[in-house]
Amino acid sequence: MSETQAAAPVDQVVPVEEYEPYCAVEHQLGVLFRRSRALSAEMGREVHPELEPGAYSILVRIGEAAPARSSDLAAYFGVGKATISRQLKVLEELGLVGREPDPLDGRAHLLGLTDEGRLRLDRARSARQRRFHAMLGTWPEEDVRLLGRMLARLNALTDAYR
């Protein structure tokens, strides 16, 4: 669809050919998301056999953003505070995450990885990186870089539409 064409109203039937490239992207993203969830579950089990798939993503985010507040994590993932609290409780019980009082707000706590959490997460990440290298190792390096740039571009757009 060109920039001069207006989007069709929601209740108007649009010829599928007009959206074919977008449908192909949607389909491939669906496949990627399903595989990504499966990979996250597998990586979570590598970190700790009792770790739930959703908790692995939280653990990764804490590693990236520490020190982090639970409310910031809830906002980042678009879930309620109760959901984050349940996951954090498990991560703490497994010894992967620790909390300390927030010096700027005595009611809040800051979360970070424990030494054990960092060690286990680093091991799982190394395994994941080896897997991606094995999958994409036959591609020219510029293609891998292009894929990274295009995914970053898509993620930036996705953030704008939240």
Q: Is the pLDDT of residue 114 over 70?
A: yes
Residues 6+ apart with CB under 8 A from 85: 70
CA proximity to 57, closest of 71, 29, 76: 76
| pLDDT for position 1 | 45
For residue 2, the model assigns a pLDDT of: 45
What pLDDT, on a 0 to 100 scale, did the predictor assign at position 108? 85
User: pLDDT per residue over 31-85, tens digit each?
Assistant: 998 988 888 888 888 899 988 878 899 999 999 999 999 999 999 999 999 999 9
* Per-residue pLDDT band at 3 (split at 50, 70, 90): very low
- The percentage of the chain sitting over the pLDDT mark of 90, rounded to a whole number, equals 52
Name the pTM for this structure: 0.74
Counting residues of the chain whose pLDDT is more than 70, the rounded percentage is: 88
User: What pLDDT is stored for residue 106 in this prediction?
Assistant: 79
Predicted confidence band at 94 (pLDDT cuts at 50, 70, 90)? very high
Per-position DSSP letters for 49-73, written without gaps between them:
TT--HHHHHHHHHHHHH-SB-HHHH
DSSP H or E segment with residue 146: helix 141-160
- The pLDDT of residue 4: 43
Phi first, then psi: what are they for 24, rounded to 5°? -65, -40
Domains, the chain: 16-160 (1.10.10.10)
- Residue 82 CA from chain centroid, whole number: 19
Q: How far is CA 74 from the centre of its chain?
A: 13
Between 101 and 15, name the one with better pLDDT: 101
**Greatest distance between any 2 Cα atoms in the chain:** 58
Cα–Cα distance, 11 to 33 (Å, whole number)? 28
